Amino acid sequence: MKSLGRHILVEYYDCNAQALNDLSLVENSMKEAAIAAGSTIVDSVFRRFAPHGISGVVVIAESHLAIHTWPEYGYAAVDLFTCGEKVDPWAAHDHLMDVFRARDSETRELPRGELRVLGEDACHKPEGSLGPVPNQAGS
């Protein structure tokens, strides 16, 4: 059965604590990871917490990349959820592993959107489907 997307759950261990607590570095690295994966960035939101730690998400046309860091433990939890045949979430994983200087990682890959439609393959949104976004009122 074909799925709409791939969701890789990543645990990065023994990372550089300063890197995990640098808002600019984390945000830029997540955007670079999205580009390395071959995805299209739509938006991003990141926040640094006191006394440490960062949470953020890069919204991509093909789903999202999200991160939560715990610099005090040298740990980061990352979701790499991508859709479509052309995007490679493992390229994003490799990029982040290098940037955060993780000594180890654990991953789990899950298929998402396994459609149970007989005789048809699941397919992703067509290219160029990022048309105008309706406002909150739905008009």
By annotation, the residues acting in catalysis are: 63, 68, 83
106: CB partners within 8 A, 6+ apart: 10, 11, 13
| Sheet containing 104-114: order of strands | 41-48, 54-60, 63-70, 75-83, 3-13, 104-114
